[in-house]
Structure 1
Amino acid sequence: MTKTIKLGEVIESPISGEWGEEGSRVKVLRSTNFTNEGYLDLSDVVTRNIPEKKIQQKKLKPGDIIIEKSGGSPNQPVGRVVYFDVADEDYLFSNFTSVIRPKNGVFPRFLFWFLFGNHLNKQTLNYQNKTTGIINLQLQRYIEETNLLIPPLPEQRRIAALLDRADALRQKDRQLLTYYDELAQSVFLDMFGDPVTNEKEWEVSDLGNMIQDGPKNGLYKPSSAYGSGTPILRIDSFYNGQIVDIGSLKRVAATSSELAQYLIEENDIVINRVNSRSHLGKSALIPRLAEPTLFESNMMRVKFKSALHPVYTIYILNSTYVKNQILGRAKDAVNQSSINQDDIRSFEIPIPPLSLQQQFASIIENIEHQKVAVRQQMAESEALFGRLLQESFGG
């Protein structure tokens, strides 16, 4: 029989983490080892010197759920959880985390998915506070006040297995999308070689020699001008060379003169000129647009000559080779860095034959078609997972 009980009734008292001192006695998991999908990333685990007594008291057991209780950000509240299932090695967990260990009669994966869904639906936002710049989860209050619908153990196992399968499906779709991204990069290197070494001995030119128009800084408008009018491209609207969702751009009131100066067109490239060093210089290829669209002041618009195919150009601009040139020219200020128009003109890039660039663009077009299908599949698997998560816990 399903019953509603408090979370605190089905778990042991939370175990707080340890940090210790520098050393190599035991591996310690931090919130940086958390992924947002509930998995542990063990690629960068620190080791710390912690007394043997505490290791024995607090070492993790398979089936433990580690919860992030300090850290977070305005866009990523604390309360993330990961499931621990490593059986062959000792691990502890840092003082920014705690362990939630289910009591007998509670299936660990069932409890994990409940806590995962709670955070996904931002229930942990109600239990946050901020001290000395750090966001903290009021873990004890969260445990005492959170209700859980808990069915008999066989039903818990069934629900957990169902969610595991739905999660595996969405993870498979994400991995497939990553595969296509990696395939595109492999094709680039196979056809053009590493631009750092230029082993194919392509002609190298300053980017300025290849520019037909620009670079031109974008339109600045105060926040009061936003809300309606003409769509405007902002730096949060593109990633990895592509516009993320052209249909969801913000809109801004603009004069006819501004429209004439700051429009972007298909096959233009925009380059971010002001940002943190890690995102400085990111660029995007403009796709076909349904209506006139502007670009914002923290980026520059560039139109290239026909000797450069737009698809090849966006790949070379997003390469590590050009990224290093960007960082070498960056002007650093408090919390941000910048590049200017002359910096962009000075970038050196290899210029392969146009016919080879066109061949590359054709292959990338086919890969992008496959990615469109995968994204649709991803949307469906994400929606399925979300529905099952809600239905499983009385949402």
Structure 2
Amino acid sequence: MAKYKLGDIAPIQQGSVPESESYWLLNLDMVESNTGHIYERLYVPFDKIGTSTIAFDTNNVLYSKLRPYLNKVVIPDCPGYATSEMLPLKPNKNYITREYLTYFLRSPKFVAYINEKTSGAKMPRANSSDLKSVEIECPTLENQRHITSEFDRIISIVRLRQQQLQKLDELVKARFVEMFGDPVQNSLKWVTKSLLEMGYCKNGVNFHSGDSGIEIHCLGVGDFKDYSVVDGTDYLPTISLSEEPPEESMLQDGDIVFVRSNGNKALVGRCLVVYPHNTPTTYSGFCIRYRLTSDEVNTSYLLRVLKADSMRKKMIGRGANIQNLNQKTLATLNIPIPPMELQEQFAEFVNQTDKSKIAVQKALDEAQLLFDSLMQKYFG
């Protein structure tokens, strides 16, 4: 198998953009990490493009040199302009396809390599020279197409499962609105109580690591996926502690955990309910634990109230860079209390939907595992 330096077969070279009334302008916040999915397409007149941009076309692969650990690589499907934080690589079609190059750049081995080479503390960037000098093994073009078709097939399965999970979430959301309406706008329909009147909160803490032999699972911000319930915590990472953790820092079945602080504003206030099932489990300092003590509210109902868009807006912090949620803000949340019979009907609906989600999530995890094994097989 032939081996080349990336700079020799995929040099940094801008593309050609034909004249038009408006142009595609791509910024990094429009690109999803790991997949290159475009969240949003912005079209602007030429005078709005600015000077800190690069031109690209359908011969390019766009690689983000800023914070390379975010793994943002794009295969553009039409010409346009992008922030200069993206490097327009132009793969030589005689040696490498755009798709094969893209999967190579997304591979864990390459991401780890280039991340070690970054410079800059607050705004780490990959150096062009390091990118150009990395070596890449290139099978025949036919084999490259076969390999990328394997990846594409698995990604299509992953996306399908993700869409199924999203549809199930939307189903629960629609059922909630049908039964209870918006919890903020319709708060006069039922008696309301402050969230902290029905339970209490505790901020997470940052533990000191040690070799005392004490290991427990820890729920962190990265574990707040697209599901609402963590049923069992064996998959969560473990941490080694220097001393026995205080009892108040341990999670119990039915606890609701919020994201308290994060640079991504969309994550702040995201919440889920945890069932550790007696497995020692704590939560990070970037989270808040809420423990319900009242029997007036069902946990499934309360969780959906807290996930409502109108409630989420009330929870978003005001930090300049790092967004924060605090107990003072949570105390302002008024929770409508409908009859328990209605709450239990909704809880049963959620329970049945969650069973479907578990099956879909298992299939998604299997597809992701297969994708990861292929990455290891072809890119080491």
Shorter-chain TM range is 0.7 to 0.9
Is the radius of gyration larger for structure 1 or structure 2? 1
**Aligned equivalents of 1:28, 1:389: Cα separation in 2:** 31
Structure 2 residue 131 is matched with structure 1 residue 142: yes
Query: Tell me, which stretches of 5 or more residues in structure 2 are unaligned?
Result: none
The 3 A distance-change label for structure 1 pair 370 and 331 is: same
Mapped contact 1:16–1:95 kept (Cα < 8 A): no
Deviation at 1:316, TM superposition (A): 0.8
**Aligned equivalents of 1:190, 1:386: Cα separation in 2:** 41
TM-score normalised over the length of structure 1: 0.77
SS at match of 1:136: coil
Structure 2 residue 44 is matched with structure 1 residue 47: yes
Deviation at 1:391, TM superposition (A): 3.3
2:292 to 303, 309, 314: 303
SS at match of 2:354: helix
Structure 2 residue 151 is matched with structure 1 residue 157: no
**Aligned equivalents of 2:349, 2:191: Cα separation in 1:** 23
Deviation at 1:221, TM superposition (A): 6.4
Mapped contact 2:62–2:76 kept (Cα < 8 A): yes
The 3 A distance-change label for structure 1 pair 17 and 28 is: farther
**Aligned equivalents of 2:88, 2:243: Cα separation in 1:** 54
The 3 A distance-change label for structure 1 pair 361 and 250 is: farther
Query: Tell me, which stretches of 5 or more residues in structure 1 are unaligned?
Result: 19-23
Q: What is the match of residue 27 of structure 2? A: 30
The 3 A distance-change label for structure 1 pair 291 and 199 is: closer
Structure 2 residue 227 is matched with structure 1 residue 231: no
1:72 to 64, 67, 90: 67
Mapped contact 1:275–1:337 kept (Cα < 8 A): yes
**Aligned equivalents of 1:226, 1:301: Cα separation in 2:** 30
**Aligned equivalents of 2:159, 2:146: Cα separation in 1:** 20
Q: What is the match of residue 193 of structure 1? A: 181
Mapped contact 1:4–1:148 kept (Cα < 8 A): yes
The sequence identity of aligned pairs, in percent, is: 18
Deviation at 1:76, TM superposition (A): 2.6
Deviations 1:304-337 (A, max 9, x none): 322201110111122223233334xx68698453
Mapped contact 1:107–1:157 kept (Cα < 8 A): no
Q: Quick one: which amino acid aligns to residue 106 of structure 2?
A: H
**Aligned equivalents of 1:203, 1:305: Cα separation in 2:** 14
Structure 2 residue 164 is matched with structure 1 residue 176: yes
SS at match of 2:36: coil
The 3 A distance-change label for structure 1 pair 39 and 201 is: same
Correspondence list, 1:66-145, <5 A = 66-69=62-65, 71-72=66-67, 75-76=69-70, 80-86=72-78, 90-106=79-95, 108=97, 111-127=98-114, 128-131=117-120, 133-145=122-134
Deviation at 1:135, TM superposition (A): 1.9
Q: What is the match of residue 380 of structure 1? A: 366
Q: Quick one: which amino acid aligns to residue 2 of structure 2?
A: K
